[in-house]
Structure 1
Amino acid sequence: MNNFNNTVLLLLKEIECEMQQKLLWQSLPPNPDAFLSEQPFAIDRMSSYEWLQWIFIPRMRALIDANAILPRNFSLHPYFEESLKEQEEAAELLSLIKRLDELAKS
């Protein structure tokens, strides 16, 4: 595994741990219909946390496991900053997401 993929994997784990500490990590997936969304971030059918847990993190891990090329130049932070603006406890999660964005742009 290359250094970039390894760093992404570590950041994904940190995001997962932060979500678990803040009790945002869910034990059951959303309704199967939620996965049919065609909107960015499945905004019409999932919360930002659900999208992160059930779509983004698994897809990134699957790409890493397959030694595939990871997407670059994505920007998750603006969406999460807006969706979590009322939640002071999300500061560390936002920081981790910003680090992931910055890594993807490097």
Structure 2
Amino acid sequence: MEARILAIADHLLLIEHELHRQGWWSAEAPSAQALASTTPFAVDAMNFDQWLQWIFLPKMKQILENGAPLPSASGILVMAETVYVDRPQESRELRRLLAEFDQLISASA
């Protein structure tokens, strides 16, 4: 189990790095109202890049740091493919990383 946790943690860092590399990392946080969105991927309040940065990454890091149960499945790649349909070249590496994240989460669920 420990190796899986480390692999997931490393993957989160790679996702963060790719968001920075693409210039999709924002210095300004969304509003508290946007961050409180309960809509899947907060599509009603922010774009997918923001959701990855401000909700997904912090929540996954918190799960790992607290030893909380991991999600049993992740369908994040499907959303990424929908969002980045017009940016296939730019988003290729991020989509690859998200696909690997999906596999890591479901690997031992």
Structures share fold, TM-score greater than 0.5: yes
Write the deviation string for residues 12-55 of structure 1: whole angstroms up to 9, x where unpaired.
Answer: 00000011011111111112210121210001101001111000
Return the alpha-carbon distance in structure 1 between the equivalents of residues 68 and 31 of structure 2.
29
C-alpha deviation, 1:105, in angstroms? 1.4
The TM-score normalised by the length of structure 2 is 0.92
The answer to whether 1:62 aligns with 2:62 is yes
Question: Where in structure 2 are the equivalents of 1:1-106 lying within 5 Å?
Answer: 2-87=2-87, 88-106=89-107
**Divergent runs of 4+, >2 A:** none
What CA distance in whole angstroms lies between the structure 2 residues aligned with 1:68 and 1:45?
A: 27
Which letter maps to 2:67? N
CA distance in 1, matches of 2:6, 2:37: 30
Root mean square deviation of aligned Cα? 1.1
The alpha carbon displacement at 1:2 in A equals: 1.1
Matched AA of 2:65: D
Task: Mark the runs of 5 or more structure 2 residues left unpaired by the alignment.
Answer: none
Using the alignment, how far apart are the partners of 1:53 and 1:95 within structure 2? 17
Letter of the 2:33 partner, please give it: D
Q: Which amino acid aligns with 2:22?
A: K
Alpha-carbon distance in structure 1 between the residues aligned to 2:80 and 2:36: 21
TM-score (norm 1): 0.95
Task: Kindly provide the CA deviation profile for residues 63-96 of structure 1, in whole angstroms up to 9, marking residues without a partner as x.
Answer: 1111112112111000110011101201100000
Q: Which runs of 5+ in 1 are unaligned?
A: none
The question of whether the paired residues in 2 share the 8 Å contact of 1:11 and 1:96 is answered with yes
Identity rate, percent: 30
